[in-house]
């Protein structure tokens, strides 16, 4: 199971249609600091969850979005599901914090919605 999340300023339609330049510019440095990344791209890891993070830029090299490709290292089992939900909630909280620091929003294409901190418990609980 894998899916993507995006920190961005602007419309997700611009991201989906390849018009990244229409998105507001982002400074990826707070994301690196908050998520403990060494370089521009990196991975946020926990016991069972991995989020591969990368910064998308426009043709001028301006950062326009931060993408997180989320997947679990293991298939959920009844014993591991609570741990996976907790790790996913922790990741979502970190990404919402990054979005807040960048005056941006966290977008989930699967839900076709921007996520807020209030959404995290229900989203994490919905993992199966």
pLDDT tens-place string over residues 54-99: 888 888 888 888 888 888 776 666 777 888 889 889 989 989 999 9
Summary mean pLDDT of the chain: 84
For the entire predicted model, the pTM comes to 0.86
Please state the length of the chain: 128
Residue 119 banded pLDDT, cuts 50, 70, 90: very high
As given in the structure block, the two tokens for residue 53 are 């993070």
Report the pLDDT value the prediction gives residue 17, as an integer from 0 to 100.
77
The answer to whether the CB of 49 falls within 8 A of the CB of 84 is yes
Q: What is the set of domains in the chain, with CATH numbers?
A: 2-125 (3.30.1400)
**Other Cβ atoms within 10 Å of 118 Cβ, number:** 8
Taking residues 118-128, what's their average pLDDT? 91
Residue 42 banded pLDDT, cuts 50, 70, 90: low
As given in the structure block, the two tokens for residue 33 are 């600091």
Is the pLDDT confidence value at 128 over 80?
no
Report the pLDDT value the prediction gives residue 9, as an integer from 0 to 100.
92
Strands across the sheet with 105-108, in order? 42-45, 49-57, 63-72, 2-8, 105-108, 113-115
């Amino acid at each position: 199971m894998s899916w993507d999340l995006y920190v961005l300023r602007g419309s997700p339609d611009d991201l989906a249609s390849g018009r990244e330049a229409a998105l507001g510019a982002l400074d990826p440095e707070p994301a690196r600091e908050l998520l403990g990344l060494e370089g521009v791209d990196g991975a946020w890891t926990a016991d069972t969850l991995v989020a591969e993070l990368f910064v998308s830029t426009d043709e001028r090299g301006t950062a326009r979005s931060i993408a997180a490709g989320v997947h679990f290292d293991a298939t959920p089992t009844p014993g591991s599901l609570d741990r996976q939900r907790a790790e996913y909630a922790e990741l979502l909280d970190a990404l919402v914090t990054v979005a807040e620091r960048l005056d941006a929003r966290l977008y989930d294409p699967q839900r076709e919605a921007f996520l807020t901190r209030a959404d995290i418990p229900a989203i994490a609980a919905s993992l199966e």
